[in-house]
Amino acid sequence: MPPRLLLGPGPSNAHPRVLSALGMAQVGHLDPTFITLMNEVQTLLRYAWQTDNQLTIPVSGTGSAAMEATVANGIEQGDKILIGINGYFGHRLVDMASRYGAEIATIEKAWGEVFTLDELREKLAEVRPKILALVHAETSTGARQPLEGVAQLCREYDCLLLVDTVTSLGGVPLFVDEWGIDLCYSGTQKALSCPPGLSPLTFSERAREMVANRSSKVGNWYLDMSLVGKYWGSERTYHHTAPINMNYGLREALRLIAEEGLAERWQRHQENAELFWDGLAEMGIDCHVAKEHRLPTLTTVKIPSGVDGKAVVGALRDDFNIEIAGGLGELGGKVWRVGLMGYNSRPENVARLLDAMRRVMKR
Ligand SMILES: *Cc1c(COP(=O)(O)O)cnc(C)c1O
């Protein structure tokens, strides 16, 4: 396969140390050495998410697996869920919730904008849902949803807070406990710099209680956290075979975060994103999202008029080995999506991309 620099919305390139960890000798999924490794993965995940939640585990499958796990465990037939839609992944949450029999209400905003506390309060008062679901880092739009104060609103209206942190974990300031997030999920293939295949999930004690008090079984056997939790908890009962080598990779990716330090890592992502934004400005190219709500991990770049966006994506890939992506949904044909995530968030990658963009656009 060609040596691509993956600067799209994901996957991003895995760190070389993660790639070599994947090739370590295999042990069984109940081997004491593997159980030690599982404990380390959980401890490191709690650090990355800034949480003490007991139920903090990597779900088998890509980001969408843990996404569906939060919905499947959180929803019983007829439960009300309020979902914020300001991009593609809000729609995916709606689709998933509908498959578990939820009564769905939505609050919508243009792609690239974010919800204010007042807007959320008004809708919570009207709908009175059991769960409010928001996307912290909308990879389809490049917008960062502010989460400070949202949990206080949820407590006022007696609902749980579900948050998608797939493109924020490991790249964007995120405090699960301080922000009062109850059901949270992510993926390994974005800012964690690990190949796709596992998806971290964390449930607060409030969420665990809610799941324990369900009157019906979770509508998905594979993603039933009361079963999976027994393998990751003290009982270590077999549920399904853990993806052993993926867990080797994830532990290494999380060790890299701990070595660098979360604050330093967030700062690095911010600095390299700003370097990219400054370079675009020099070329006279604008970003889609207002600066105060822009994600450092994913930038939506406005395609200048007269430029064939698809042709640029193709030339960057074929002639420069760089992957970026076009827009989705409302932003289709209007923007490019550029990810600077994890290991890839480095000044030399920003310079290489800007230089390649200049050359391709001149053509
Ligand atoms: C990528 C992504 C997902 C889904 O993850 P997959 O690894 O593609 O299954 C969910 N939510 C957001 C915000 C994402 O960026």
Residue 329 shares a structural domain with residue 349: yes
Query: What CATH number is associated with residue 308?
Result: 3.90.1150.10
Helices (H) and strands (E) in the chain, counts: 12, 14
| Cβ(112)–Cβ(301) below 8 Å | no
Residue 234 shares a structural domain with residue 282: no
Output the pLDDT for position 171: 98
What range does the domain containing 153 cover? 16-258
Residue 38 shares a structural domain with residue 150: yes
**Confidence at 239, pLDDT banded by 50, 70, 90:** very high
Please name the residues in contact with 251: beta carbons below 8 A apart, sequence gap of 6 or more.
Answer: 21, 37, 40, 41, 44
Nearest to 165 by CA among 210, 204, 199: 199
Over residues 72-90, mean pLDDT? 98
| Site to substitute for ligand 1 among 12, 67, 166, 169, most atoms within 8 A of C-beta | 166
Predicted confidence (pLDDT) at residue 138 exceeds the cutoff of 90:
yes
Residue 229 Cβ contacting ligand 1 at under 6 Å: no
**Confidence at 234, pLDDT banded by 50, 70, 90:** confident
| Cβ(103)–Cβ(78) below 8 Å | yes
**Confidence at 334, pLDDT banded by 50, 70, 90:** very high
CA of 289 to the centre of ligand 1 (A): 20
| Cβ(87)–Cβ(138) below 8 Å | yes
Residue ending a domain, choose from 234, 258, 282: 258
Long-range contacts of 217-220 (CB under 8 A, 24+ apart): 218/72, 218/73, 219/72, 219/75, 219/99, 219/100, 219/101, 220/68, 220/69, 220/72, 220/100
**Confidence at 354, pLDDT banded by 50, 70, 90:** very high
CA of 32 to the centre of ligand 1 (A): 32
Residue 287 shares a structural domain with residue 346: yes
Residue 57 shares a structural domain with residue 126: yes
Q: Please name the residue whose Cα sits nearest to atom 15 of ligand 1.
A: 139
Residue 53 shares a structural domain with residue 180: yes
| Helices (H), ranges, 171-261 | 205-212, 225-232, 244-260
Reported as a single tens digit per residue, the pLDDT across 14-55 is 999 999 999 999 999 999 999 999 999 999 999 999 999 999
Q: Which atom of ligand 1 is nearest to the CA of 67?
A: 10
Helix (H) or strand (E) holding 83: strand 80-85
Residue ending a domain, choose from 224, 242, 258: 258
Strand 335-339, strand 325-326: pairing: antiparallel
CA of 64 to the centre of ligand 1 (A): 6
Token pair listed for 225 = 């956290």
Strand 322-323, strand 55-60: pairing: unpaired
Over residues 56-65, mean pLDDT? 98
Residue 253 shares a structural domain with residue 272: no
Averaged confidence pLDDT in the chain: 97
Residue 195 Cβ contacting ligand 1 at under 6 Å: no
Q: Which atom of ligand 1 is nearest to the CA of 9?
A: 15
CA of 63 to the centre of ligand 1 (A): 5
Q: Is the peptide bond before 3 cis (omega within 30 degrees of 0)?
A: no
Query: What CATH number is associated with residue 218?
Result: 3.40.640.10
Residue ending a domain, choose from 258, 282, 299: 258
Q: How many domains does the chain have?
A: 2
In the chain, the percentage of residues whose pLDDT exceeds 70 is 100
The residue count of the chain comes to 363
Helix (H) or strand (E) holding 276: helix 262-282
Residue 178 shares a structural domain with residue 293: no
Residue 63 Cβ contacting ligand 1 at under 6 Å: yes
Q: How far apart are CA 120 and CA 149, in angstroms?
A: 11
Residue 166 Cβ contacting ligand 1 at under 6 Å: yes
Residue 37 shares a structural domain with residue 117: yes
Residue 245 shares a structural domain with residue 298: no
Q: Which atom of ligand 1 is nearest to the CA of 188?
A: 7
pTM over 0.75, yes/no: yes
| Cβ(200)–Cβ(49) below 8 Å | yes
Residue 273 shares a structural domain with residue 229: no
